[in-house]
Amino acid sequence: MPDTARGLSESEVLQKRAQGLGNPAPPPTSRTYAQIFRENIFTFINGVIFFLGVALLLVGRPVDALLSVGIISLNILVSVVQEIRAKRTLDKIALLTRPKATVIRDGAPSQVVPEELVVGDVLYVAPGDQIVLDGAVVQGKMTVDESQLTGESNSISKQNGAQVYSGSFCVTGSAFYVAEKVGGDSLANQITAGAKQFRRVLTPLQQEVVLVIRIMLLIVVYLEILIVLNAALKALNLGDTVQQSTLIAGLVPNGLFLSISIAYALGAVRIIRFGVLVQQANAIESLSNVNVLCLDKTGTLTTNRLQVNALHPLAISESELAHVLGDMVANATTQNKTSQALAEKYRGEKRVVVGEIPFSSARKWSAIAFHDGRDEKRGTRNEPLAFRISHHAGTFALGAPEMLQPYLVDAENVNENRDKSPRPRESSRERGDLSPTWREIMTRTQALAEQGLRVLLVAYHSSTELQDKGDDSRLPQDMTPLGLVSIRDELRPEAREALDNFINAGVNPKIISGDNPETVAALAKQAGLKNAKLVSGVDLEKMDDAQFAHAARERTIFGRITPQQKEKLVRALRAEGHYVAMIGDGVNDVLSLKQANLGIAMQSGTQATRAVADLVLMDDSFASLAPAVTEGQRIVNGMQDILKLFLTRIVTMAMVIMSALVIGEFPLALRQGSLVTLFSVGIPTVLLAIWARPGAVGRGTLAQRLFHFILTPVVVTTLFSLFLFYGTLVGELLMRAGFNPNLSAEIIQPHYPVALVTAQSTLVAFLVFVGLLTVIFVEPPTKWWVAGDELSGDWKPTLLAVGLMVMFFVIVFVKPLRNLFALAELGAPELLSAIVLAALWLLLVRWLWRRRVFENYLGIKDLHIYAYH
């Protein structure tokens, strides 16, 4: 058996590492540079467009090839640069949250990262610590949560010789264990390789985009087949066919999925400024959806810097009570914030410990049994209480008064002047009455709790029989309450402002704690939560599922809550349709963090808590979440604006092309389509993402909001486009043929190419105009523009649309630029027809949107998601 006091020496560590017995570094938790380049460049659509670009080059159309390949190359370059910058920043920050292990080397403990460990290392774990390597317990006793390995939430007791596994964590107690498996043999690295390494976990928004891409891919494949068949039947020019195929391939919004991933990565970088580290990609989107925020009081609402307020003796003097507390914490094998506060206040002596039950959040008490070495046959129970206490023979318990009540003796027996021992009897709770002492305890506890103080009860029994059975542990019956101790916790200075910000943002806070409900309510009142409804874990235990769900929905303060009840509360809130975020710092919060839509941990919290969290608050201030929520809303709103523009353009173009193919003429050339894309989507989407406004996400699902927005402009734009294109084409042919009523193929043929380019150019002008009007509808600056989306009040998108309109006219009137995009010289009739039709489009689309004509026709009533008055 290894020497737990000495551990390995540095020379032994080097020797084992040389033998290949070291723990290698875990796989990266973010994408490698190779993955970034591969996933940005080698996509199906990129491959198709690059192939068609080469084909255009081979058939003698270098300008078309340059434009088609150049635009997508620019997108790739921007995406790669942004993602690499985000990766570097996030990787640096993520180093701060790596779990560390306490290893004993050369007789001294030290904190190291897991990759510095070797086989044979002796490691120490305390409550909340992760077990980072597989091994065997060699000293101590603890309970371990292996739920991440087995899926079972029950804690498992581990003693000498028991196997422990990486991926689990210590709940109570403490122990030394020796590492036996490292590298690929260790479950820690298996979990890291299988679950912790980077993988695309699709968010709801990403799932919607994937669906859109798949649908558009099917449409594009169908259109490509039509193009090929059309070219074969009509013996069309190969260059024209390749050009049309390239334009159609560009309809697949391949960059949408990547844009969302990059937006999340950049958002994660931005919210680091607020002290929030993103550990899961969907955390940013989750932030924007949260409407219930569950807080663990200690360490979240308060600083968790505990101080003893006062002692309140019941059966012994204050000095004797202080002596008992000092000895209890001085001899306990595990420490928490409460015991540390007591140890700082009261000094104790080392005693002979014959039994110990560490504190558990489920039981809410701890106990320790001392043996004073005297002959047990003398019968210490017949001696005065003060004598028995002074000799420290027996069991001492410390915990929540309500949780110790079942084990307490009646008040008539709490008298140190009585020489006879208390006779066994059923507890006061079992009989249903309240003894005089319990009334006194309740009165004092209530008064102290209303001041925001934590209250603990100290109880004693002469028996030294104490067995640790985890959460099933029991105390001796008829324990004597010795006194109360009140402990003060400091409210975080930013708590009031943070809660106000959440409430104003429509987020409903709920405070869940293991403390007395009155204590929690008093602190919540100090933080600005007034008239909060209370409920205790004891009352919740008696409720059926319907009553429990009602309490979870209606109550704000939850006290004396066990970890299992925390988890059930979060589950009940989610079942009610709420999007729940849970903030915690202790091992008792792990279950509820895993159950919540969004788990948030404090940086100073336990390793286990940080490991399961989606977000980590680096400065331990939940006030930093308020700006992070705003940032999340801004990102999601920006992506929705991008989706609206993308889908409106893509579906419209697909409908126009499909309709035109039925009639017999392709409506746009490749370079003309690139111009429409650049002005209606390319430039606006980049700036809309930057200018995206914070605020609650609109009502209804994403699919409903998108359907409501794109349906009307797609239908109207398609009809107007076909009317304008073929009307202009016919008009040009008539005008160039001298309005000859006897038109024939011989008369039309010489004029057809010029007329076609003019009709296409007129259509380009119209599509650019309505595309820029759509940008304004996406971010309405005034109430007049509110039709497809909610009022924004931001004039920047409108000014952008006006600026792009001016740029378009420059292209139309400057011959080199006009030739670059294969546009004809448009005269006043063509431009005027495009402008007038765009104005009619504006009025008609606004009217149809506001009357919800198409939704009502389709019988879809739940898309009434915007208010216009």
CA 763/CA 424 separation, integer angstroms? 96
Nearest to 545 by CA among 512, 579, 572, 510: 572
Same domain as 655, residue 643: yes
CATH, residue 375: 3.40.1110.10
Verify that 791 and 715 share a domain, yes or no: yes
Share of residues in the chain with pLDDT > 70 (%): 79
In a shared domain, residues 437 and 526: no
Indicate which CATH number applies to the domain containing 145: 2.70.150.10
Whether 517 and 460 map to the same domain: the answer is no
Q: Are 347 and 359 part of one and the same domain?
A: yes
For β-strands 276-278 and 615-617, DSSP reports them as: antiparallel
- Give yes or no: residues 322 and 463 share one domain: yes
Same domain, 569 and 435: no
DSSP conformation letters of 460-506? EES-------GGG----SSBEEEEEEEEE-PBPTTHHHHHHHHHHTT
Tell me, yes or no, whether 515 and 565 share the same domain.
Answer: yes
Residue that terminates a domain, selected from 473, 488, 503: 488
Q: Point out the domain boundary residue: 578, 598, 620.
A: 620
Q: Are 261 and 278 in contact (CB under 8 A)?
A: no
Confirm whether 542 is domain-assigned: yes
Domain assignment present for residue 590? The answer is: yes
CA dihedral of residues 179, 185, 189, 193 (deg, nearest 10): 180
Cα(593)–Cα(611) distance, integer angstroms: 10
The CATH number of residue 599's host domain is: 3.40.50.1000
The answer to whether residue 555 sits within a structural domain is yes
Q: Band of the pLDDT at 257, cuts 50, 70, 90? A: low
| Domain end among 136, 163, 196 | 196
The stretch 265-273 carries a mean pLDDT of 76
Could you write out the three-class secondary structure of 560-619?
A: CCCHHHHHHHHHHHHHCCCCEEEEECCHHHHHHHHHCCEEEEECCCCHHHHHHCCEEECC
Task: Return the percent helix, strand and coil in the chain, to nearest 5.
Answer: 55, 15, 30
What's the pLDDT tens digit per position in 366-381?
999 998 654 444 444 4
Between 760 and 869, name the one with better pLDDT. Answer: 760
Kindly state whether residues 533 and 388 are assigned to the same domain: no
303 CB-near residues (< 8 Å, 6+ apart):
489, 490, 491, 492
Q: How many CB atoms lie within 10 A of CB 311?
A: 20
- Examine residue 439 and state whether it is found in any structural domain, yes or no: yes
Distances (CA, A) of 15 to 5, 103, 118, 133: 20, 17, 10, 19
Q: Cα–Cα distance between 214 and 609 in angstroms, integer?
A: 38
* Domain CATH for 828: 1.20.1110.10
Within 10 angstroms of residue 631's Cβ, the number of other Cβ atoms is 22
Q: Which domain holds residue 189?
A: 117-196
Span 662-697, pLDDT tens digits = 776 778 877 888 888 889 888 888 788 778 877 666
Going by C-beta distance under 8 Å and a sequence separation of 6 or more, which residues neighbour residue 739? none
- Whether 143 and 173 have beta carbons less than 8 Å apart is answered as yes
Provide the pairing of β-strand 580-584 with 292-296. parallel
Closest CA to 411 of 434, 379, 390, 380: 434
Give me the number of domains the chain comprises. Answer: 4
The tens digit of pLDDT for each residue in 51-89 reads: 666 765 665 667 656 766 766 676 677 667 766 766 676
Nearest to 312 by CA among 138, 444, 477, 133: 444
Q: For the chain, give the mean pLDDT.
A: 80
Residue 482 shares a structural domain with residue 501: no
Residues 858, 742: one domain? Answer: yes
Please return the burial class of 515, using the count of CB atoms within 10 Å of its CB with bins 0-12, 13-18 and 19+: buried
* Count of beta carbons in the 10 Å neighbourhood of residue 355: 16
* Helix-helix angle 204-234:254-271, to 10 degrees: 160
Quick: pLDDT tens for 8-50.
998 999 998 888 888 876 555 556 778 778 777 776 667 766 7
Question: Does 97 reside within a domain?
Answer: no
Q: Do 574 and 668 belong together in one domain? A: no
Q: Which of 52-67 are b and which e, b meaning 16 or more Cβ less than 10 Å from the residue's Cβ?
A: bbebbeebebeebbeb
Residues 684/777, Cβ–Cβ less than 8 Å: no
